[in-house]
Amino acid sequence: MDALSYKTKSVAAHEVKREWFIVDAENLTLGRMASKIASVLRGKHKPTFTPHADCGDFVIVINSGKVKLTGNKLNEKTRVHYTGYPGGQIHRSPKEIMAKNSNELIELAVKGMLPKNSLGRQMYKKLFVYKEDTHPHTAQKPKAL
């Protein structure tokens, strides 16, 4: 039998060519930006996307403190964290999170859009978030996303 020329090819992890992208979060909406970043981290923008392999790219986010939330979400929305102990439920608004660490808000949004398994944790490690517009990854020559 002849091999089919149109058969779908799965890409192995060592065959993936990774690129670096940079996102300026200034005046961008958090959810829309996070979904685009999660898609790039996962590798869904590539024609060689393989669901069971980490074929995504690296993403650098700068100006994380200047990200926008629409409506009144900055004050009314709450993030719930449970420590595992009785009475250990912690409720925080995005305003409280931004005051303490503005990078955490973007990291939580993107992490929630990635798979909840070891592959998702591997993808999450390729995300770098910085509060200011400077970053130590200039040698990688990142492209704008």
Instruction: Give the pLDDT confidence of 80-133 residue by residue, as tens digits.
Output: 999 999 999 999 999 999 999 999 999 999 999 999 999 999 999 999 999 999
pLDDT for res 12:
85
CA angle 62, 53, 113 (to 5 degrees): 45
The structure tokens 């002849």 sit at 2
Please determine, for residue 1, whether its predicted confidence score (pLDDT) is greater than 60. no
Domain extents for the chain? 18-71+100-144
CATH number given to 18-71+100-144: 3.90.1180.10
Instruction: Give the pLDDT confidence of 21-30 residue by residue, as tens digits.
Output: 999 999 999 9
pTM score above 0.75: yes
Q: Angle between the 102-111 and 30-42 helix axes, to the nearest 10 degrees?
A: 60
Residue 70, CA atoms < 13 Å, CB-side half-sphere: 6
Between CA 61 and CA 107 the distance in angstroms is 10
> For the chain, how many residues are written?
145
Please determine, for residue 61, whether its predicted confidence score (pLDDT) is greater than 60. yes
